[in-house]
Amino acid sequence: MREEPAKELLEELGLDLAREGARDTPRRFLSALAELTRGLREPPPEVVFFPTRYRGTVEVKGIRAVGLCEHHMLPIIMRINISYVPGNAGAPGLSKVIRLVKWAAARPLMQEEFTEWLADLLMERLKAEAVAVEVVGWHTCSALRGVKDEGHRMVTRAARGGPNSQRA
C-alpha cells in the first residue's frame, strides 16, 4: 500500500510525523488496516473433512473475530458462536472452522448482514445439514464516539437448514 496518502491523512488530523514515536505510524497504520481487511484479498481457508457417522449438533462457542464497521471503519470485536449438523462430507476440522470464521470477519461489515452471510458461507463450506450463527459484537464506533457507551453488545442470529439449526 502507498504510504503517502496515509501520511497526508495523519498530518491533516494533526499528528506530527517528525516525532520519534510517530515516524513509522503511516506504515503501521496501513499494516493494521491490511490485517483487519485481509478477508477482502485472501482466499477463504480450505476446509478439511474427517469421516464420521455423527449426525448430532456440533457447537463451537466463543470464536473471537474482528471486523470493521463499514460506516466508520472502526473495529467491531466479536464473539461468534456457531452450531452445525455435519453432512455427508464428514466432520470439518475444528481449526479450519475457526479460521474460516476469522477470515469471514476480517473486512468492513454491517453486523446484521455479516451474520446472514456467515450462515450461508458455513452451510456451503462446511457442507452442513444445518447451521446456526450467533454474533455478539462490541462496536467501538458507538463505544468511543457518538453515544459513547462501552457497555452495550449487539447480538444477531441466523439459522439455515433443519429443525436443529435454531441453536447457536
Contact 167, 132 (CB under 8 A): yes
Lowest mean pLDDT among 24-28, 38-42, 45-49, 143-147: 143-147
Tell me: pLDDT of 168 over 60.
no
Res 22 pLDDT > 70: yes
pLDDT value at position 167? Answer: 58
CA distance 6 to 23: 12
DSSP 56: S
> Where would I find the beta strands (DSSP E) of the chain?
49-50, 58-69, 75-85, 91-92, 108-109, 130-139, 154-161
Encoded amino acid at 133, one letter: V
**β-bridge pairing 108-109 and 58-69:** parallel
Q: Which of 50, 64, 22, 75 is CA-nearest to residue 126?
A: 50
Q: What is the mean pLDDT of residues 10-24?
A: 95
With a pLDDT cut of 70, the percent of the chain lying above it is: 96
Specify the CATH class of 49-166 in words.
alpha beta
Structural domain boundaries in the chain: 3-36, 49-166
Half-sphere exposure of 104 (CA within 13 A, CB side): 26
The arithmetic mean of pLDDT across residues 11-23, rounded, is 95
pTM: 0.92
Give how far Cα 14 sits from Cα of 4, 31, 93, Å: 15, 20, 48
For the chain, give the mean pLDDT: 95
Q: How many other C-beta atoms lie within 10 A of the C-beta of residue 38?
A: 13
Rounded to an integer, the average pLDDT of 38-64 is 97
Each residue's pLDDT tens digit, 99-155: 999 999 999 999 999 999 999 999 999 999 999 999 999 999 999 999 988 899 999
Taking residues 11-29, report their average pLDDT: 96
29: pLDDT strictly greater than 80: yes
